[in-house]
Amino acid sequence: MPGTPKTAAAGTASRILDVAERLVQVRGFNGFSYAHVARELNVTTASLHYHFASKAELGEALIERYSERFAGSLAEIDRRPAAAPAKLEAYSELYADELRGRRMCLCGVLAAEYETLPPPMREAIVRFFDLNEEWLAGVLEQGRRERTLAFAGSARTAARMIVSGLEGAMLVARPYGDLSRYKAAAAALLGSLADGPR
């Protein structure tokens, strides 16, 4: 059937990315090797190298795919007509969903290993956080216009506080295995924007 080999190759690459993403989210980028992925998929490491010539190339592909999915989730939040506080709550749930699956934000994990990563991966991580800050700044400006949110300083600074706060809340909740710790921290963080100076 025409196109089948290409489709099969794309399917294999996707499965490799699925396994590698989970391994990074659980063990970190430096905590797994091609051998771990090959064992889970019951393939040879040579077949992994066919799809991703190096671990760095695999890492960059992981970040790009994760960022695209995240951007899709943000676009989905935007498609629902909602006030800014509801959008921020939906945003915090994206991180909560990762914790429910006993995982961390992929780029949050990689940011902790930033100094050990190759430049293309570092650049992709920064792009991920820039994407989030830009989207959050837009939501915060919406909230300011609606008078549903109040915060001192620029929307960009408040956006950075949200990203940092939620990523940190995930990190601290992880060793406890307690989603409620994350939820309480996220609620307090987002609540401070509704109750802050006007």
C-alpha span between 121 and 109 (Å, rounded): 12
pLDDT at 154 (0 to 100): 96
How many CB atoms lie under 10 A from the CB of residue 52?
A: 20
**176 occurs within a structural domain:** yes
Q: Answer yes or no: is 30 within a domain.
A: no
Q: What local confidence, expressed as pLDDT, does residue 8 receive?
A: 53
Point out the residues of the chain with pLDDT beneath 50. 1-5, 196-198
Distance of CA 169 to the CA centre of its chain: 14
Q: DSSP code of 177?
A: T
Domain count, the chain: 1
pLDDT of residue 12: 86
Q: What pLDDT does 165 receive?
A: 97
Distance CA 141, CA 83 (A): 11
For residue 152, the enclosing domain spans 55-195
Q: pTM of the predicted model, to two decimals?
A: 0.88
Residue type present at position 155: A
- Joined tokens for residue 168: 């940190």
Q: What integer pLDDT is reported at residue 196 of this predicted model?
A: 46
CATH number of 154's domain = 1.10.357.10
For residue 81, the model assigns a pLDDT of 87
Give me the pLDDT at residue 122, please: 97
Give the separation between CA 182 and CA 12, rounded to whole angstroms. 35
Residue 136 lies in a domain: yes
**Is the four-CA dihedral 95, 98, 100, 102 of positive or negative sign?**
negative
Q: Is residue 169 part of a domain?
A: yes
Q: Cβ neighbours of residue 7 under 8 Å, at least 6 residues apart?
A: none
